[in-house]
Amino acid sequence: MRELVELQKKLQPDVLDVMGQRFRILQYVRLMQPVGRRTLAASLELSERVLRGEVTFLKEQGLLSVTAAGMTLTEEGHTLLEGLEEMIKEAFGLASLEEQVSTILSVPKVIVVSGNSDRHSWVKKEMGRACIQQMKAHLTPDDVVAVAGGTTLASVAEMMTPDPRLTSVTFVPARGGLGEKVEIQSSTISSVMGMKAEANYRLLHVPDQLSEEAHDSLAHEPEIKELLALIRSARVVLHGIGEGKTMAQRRKAKPGIMKELEKKEAVAEAFGYYFDRNGNIVHKERTIGLQLDDLNTNQKVISIAGGASKGEAIWAYMRYRPSDILITDESAAQAVIDHEPPK
């Protein structure tokens, strides 16, 4: 495939640029439809004049439909996008990035989407779409899916679609609430996924961080105990990877904890555990919900994190426990590859 692309470039040097630009337009419309021309131009950083010409071409090819409500993909447009995805990955080096990151992190399967989610929110949606595809591929009837919180997982929930195979699946929150925006809390995200999938869901109405006394008391409540057992039985676990300092601030960590994390150079967080650059655990919050020790080989653990700013965090966490699947973006993948291991 790569050799064919190189031959095409000799005959038409700009062939990849044109193909990539048109693919990104179709990709964005699929994620955000119906979408207006001005929003599309701003999101893809194209001039309205250039976009107008591309939209006209794509419409004439029967790939886009333009109405007063905005642009949408036609059925032919959807088919074309799906058919081109693997070729685009190969042509633009994303397949190579996947192989390199898989080797570096010892993660069996890595999926890299184009772009940088630090700059463009639509890239998170594309990561979310890829996550949903992987999740659906590994689910069987009556399975349980444990879902963590955060902005990236909220984007995953947005991309969920109904599926007859999921009607008996149950979505559960992987942890309690962090006391932040309700829309990015684990319980909210798992309920949105369950409703959009037309499946089942359960809620965990407790804060994530508790005193030792409160934790022990709640853990023995019959309803909480039953739900925690259900969460730990999850066949698929979806979680993000946070930057250490950012997550400590979100958790409203006390000044003493913040100083400890800074001193120990915590760069990553997942499941309430903080990791240094070598992947060593340097701090653990007392949380209610899924713990790292609960993860086992019978589960399919899918990690999702993107943006160049997450490169070091991904690298550090995976040093401790490589996931089964990592879904990330181009910028984060490159940051992982460029990361210099501590000496």
**pLDDT in the model for residue 339:** 82
CA distance 55 to 73: 11
CA distance 332 to 112: 9
**pLDDT in the model for residue 343:** 46
Check if the beta carbon of residue 171 is closer than 8 Å to that of residue 132: no
DSSP assignment of 113-134: ESS-TTT-HHHHHHHHHHHHHH
CA distance 120 to 116: 6
Burial of 78 (0-12, 13-18, 19+ CB in 10 A): middle
CA distance 248 to 268: 10
pLDDT tens over the chain, length 343 residues: 556 656 565 655 577 788 889 999 999 999 999 999 999 998 888 898 999 999 999 999 999 999 999 999 999 999 999 888 888 888 888 999 999 999 999 999 999 999 999 998 889 999 999 999 999 999 999 999 999 998 999 999 999 999 888 999 999 999 876 556 778 889 999 999 999 999 999 988 776 565 566 656 776 778 888 998 999 999 999 999 999 999 888 877 889 999 999 999 999 999 989 999 999 999 998 777 888 888 988 899 999 999 999 999 999 999 998 999 999 999 999 999 998 554 4
Residue pointed to by tokens 């994190």? 305
Length of the chain: 343
Q: Nearest Cα to 184, choosing from 145, 147, 151? A: 151
Terminal Cα distance for the chain, rounded: 39
Q: How crowded is the C-beta side of 311, counted as CA atoms within 13 Å? A: 18
3-class secondary-structure state, position 282: strand
The pTM assigned to this predicted structure is: 0.89
**Partners of residue 111 on adjacent β-strands:** 327
HEC-encoded secondary structure of 184-199: HCHHHHHHHHHHHHCC
